[in-house]
Amino acid sequence: MENPCLECDVILREYRIAYLDFWERASQETRDACKALGELIGGSEADMQSVEDHLPRFRPMSGEQLNTATLRYFGGDDRIRDAILKKWLHQKATGHIVHLSFGKF
């Protein structure tokens, strides 16, 4: 057990499964963008250029467009989002810190 209790481990397991499922279904473009973002942590100017090469610029959105995007994000079937929400609720209820990482499976 990596975390303080069984429920913490269940949340971690759900997160890992959801993330791996996302990664398997992701397009190469999405994978490249995720890798570029990951390289920003402690990265260099070259890493920043890589991110700019892989991610499109944000375009301005109207209030209606932003509201639609928010509803789509929070209303969709997103197991990663659900696992993170469970983590936050469990942490609030118990004070436990669930470390969402990819250690041993």
User: What confidence category does residue 98 fall into, taking pLDDT thresholds of 50, 70 and 90?
Assistant: confident
In degrees and rounded to multiples of 5, residue 19 shows phi and psi of -65, -45
Given a cut of 50, is residue 21 above it in pLDDT? yes
Two structure tokens written together for 105: 């499976």
* Confidence at residue 6, expressed as pLDDT on a 0 to 100 scale: 92
Q: Per-residue pLDDT for 95 more than 50?
A: yes
Residue 1 above 60 pLDDT? no
Calpha distance 65→52 (Å, rounded):
24
CA distance 100 to 3: 10
Give the chain's mean pLDDT. 75
* Residue 103 pLDDT grade (very low, low, confident, very high; cuts 50, 70, 90): very low
* Average pLDDT of span 40-68: 68
